Structure formats: C-alpha cells, structure tokens
Structure 1
Amino acid sequence: MNTNRLSPAIEAALNEQMTREASASQIYLAYGSWADANGYGGISNFLFRHAHEERNHMMKILEYILKRGGKVTITAIPAPPSDPTSVNNCFEKVFQHEVDNTTSIYKIVKLSHDQEDWATWNFMQWFVKEQTEEENLAISLLDKIKIAGGENAKDEALYSLDRDLETTPDDARLAQDVTTDNP
C-alpha cells in the first residue's frame, strides 16, 4: 500500500528546497568565515548563527517529507559563491540570497495550492513568515551599513556595527505584529 501523501511534483519541490536550505547554511558558513578572517568577529558570530538556522530549516523540511510518507533525496550542494569583497557586499549578497530563497518558497506554496495539498500549503506558511523575517533582517543590515557609509564605511563605523551584530537578536519584527501600542 502506498502511504505517500505527497504528489511527485511536491515531493520533488520539497526535496529541492531542502537542498537549497542546506546550501544556504553553507553560504552563511562561508560568509561567516570570511568575516572572521577579516577581523569581524561579531558579524561572523551573527552569520554562523544563521548557518545553524538554515540547517534547522533543512531538517524541518526533511522531517515533513518523511512524516507525509515521501522519500527524502539527499543530493550534493553547490559550492558557496565567491567571498564578499566588503561588509557592504556581504550584506547585499545575504539579501539577494534571501530574496531568491523566498521566490523558491513561493513556488512551493503556489504548487501546493494548485494541487489542493492543504497540508503542504499549511506547512509552508511557516516558511513564508520566516522568509519575511529574513528579508526584513537583511534589509535592516543593509540600512545599518548604509548609515555607516556603505562601501565607504570607516573603520570606526564598521567596528561599531561588528560589535552590535555580535548581540543582535536573530529575529526581525514583522509589520503584521505592529500595533499603535507597540509600533
């Protein structure tokens, strides 16, 4: 008896997303290593924490596939892109990576909606919210480096930013959570 509750297309899309999350973890590890090698321990710590978070996303998808009776397919992940050239470039790359990941998540949401796979659609809503947080966080990082001077940021500003990111929470506030009492 076949107990797989995932269509072949959704199973394939989820496996692909699982691989994307594993790749994202490697990207954050690479960027964190670059930051550390360049003396930015706080930025490195921040990026390493996000590498761990991306791996957790991968495991969340893996578990979902298994719990729905599907087959998990582990594939090779591509090497991370080239190292950033600056702190500004690092945050630009982080933002673009998150936007690309959001696009991939949305495709799965659309596919699950089109196939009326409401369990997968519901499961993916957590990732939709997570990607909104990730994009907001990346935008916040870009805003901070822009204020610090962007590509022309001075050492003092980068030092301050590095210190701030060492203790910055990994979450970003979402517009849907804002009220007049709690802007």
Structure 2
Amino acid sequence: MKISKNMQNGLNNQISLEANASNIYLSMASWCEVIGYEGGASFFYAQSDEERAHMLKIVHYLNNLGIPATIPATKLPSSDFKSLESILKTALKNEQAVTSAIHKLVEIAQKDKDHSTYAFLEWFVNEQVQEETKFETLIQKFELIGRDKIAINEIDKILASSVASANSTGSV
C-alpha cells in the first residue's frame, strides 16, 4: 500500500510529537518524585510510557507499509515546574496540541482518500478524547477539593489510584 509523501511526513512529525510528549511526561514524573508526589510520579511515568507506545504504534504502521519511520531527536523538556496543578494544566495543553496534530493527519487522510490510514488514525482520535477528558477532570479536582496541602495530598492520591485502576483495565 502506498501513502502520500504528505501523509508520510505527517506521520513522521507525529512520531516526533509523541516522543517529545513522552519526555515531557518523564520530566514531570521526575519532578513529582523529587517533590514527594508519589501518585503524581506514578501517574506521569505511566503517561510517559503511554506516549512512547503511541509513538511505536506509528513507527510500526509506517514500517509495515515498507516505509522506514524517522526516529527523531527530542527536545529538552522543561524541568522547572511550579506546582502539581500547573503540571496538569501543561499536560492538558500538550494533549490539546497532540489532538490538533491528529486532526490534521485525519484531514490529510480524507483529502488523499487514504482509507487505511484514516482507519488507523481513528484509534488516536478516540484516545485523544479520553486523554483530554482525563486531564480536564484532574484539573477540576483543584476547584472541587481545593489547593491547600491536604487537598493536594488527596489529588496526589487520586493520581495514584488512576494508575492503579488503569493498570487493572489495561489503559492509563
């Protein structure tokens, strides 16, 4: 099967975006671990693994088409975070950027009448709905529970339990 050069470039760019997202989440996990947010650390380590899995999904898709995937260098992620709430807001913005990029790939697939890649990308479209909802819900906890030390501790516990429940269902 052939895909357009435009789609190849788009998928390779998405590989880069997913790799950078993985590193951003790894940096967030490291920060959480140092600060003492054990739940946040577990949550963001799992998010980092998930983004790497997304990257590999695209790498395998291209390779299975006989198109060597471009493995990118990654950008140095920030490690200067202010709070657990600010990290979650940054993560939501990152997920929104990924969603936008996936939607652009879907538009290319539609324009190219590339039904196979369109079907492949539908998984990512659905995944991004879940990702954005997850972060929006977590950020909402600050409004519901508060921002004092006890509230932040409870939110950290929520992050830990979300990893535990995701591990039991097979998704983060």
- Give deviations 1:44-65, integer Å, cap 9, x for gaps: 1011011001100000000000
Q: Distance in 2 between matches of 1:160 and 1:89?
A: 16
Q: Unpaired runs of 5+ in structure 2?
A: 168-172
Residue 160 (str. 1) matches residue 164 (str. 2): no
Aligned to 1:113: 110
Aligned to 1:32: 29
Residue 83 (str. 1) matches residue 77 (str. 2): no
Which consecutive segments of 4 or more residues in structure 1 shift more than 4 A?
Answer: none
Aligned to 2:41: 44
- Give 1:165 deviation, angstroms: 1.3
- Give 1:5 deviation, angstroms: 1.3
Q: Distance in 2 between matches of 1:170 and 1:138?
A: 14
- With the length of structure 2 as denominator, give the TM-score of the two structures: 0.91
Q: Is the 8 A contact 1:5 1:70 kept in 2?
A: no
Q: After the TM superposition, which of the residue ranges 155-164 and 120-129 deviates more from structure 2? A: 155-164
Aligned to 1:175: none
- Matched to 1:81, the amino acid is S
Identity level (%): 33
Aligned to 2:70: 73
Q: Unpaired runs of 5+ in structure 1?
A: 172-183
Aligned to 1:136: 133
SS in 2 for 1:78: coil
- With the length of structure 1 as denominator, give the TM-score of the two structures: 0.86
- Give deviations 1:82-131, integer Å, cap 9, x for gaps: 43211111111010000011000000000010011110011000000000
Q: How many residues align?
A: 165
Question: What's the RMSD between the two structures over aligned residues?
Answer: 1.4
Q: Is the 8 A contact 1:14 1:108 kept in 2?
A: yes
Higher helix share: 2
Q: Distance in 2 between matches of 1:144 and 1:62?
A: 36
Residue 96 (str. 1) matches residue 93 (str. 2): yes
Q: After the TM superposition, which of the residue ranges 60-69 and 81-90 deviates more from structure 2? A: 81-90
Larger radius of gyration: 1
Q: Is the 8 A contact 1:6 1:69 kept in 2?
A: no
Aligned to 1:64: 61
Q: Distance in 1 between matches of 2:51 and 2:80?
A: 19
Q: After the TM superposition, which of the residue ranges 23-32 and 63-72 deviates more from structure 2? A: 63-72
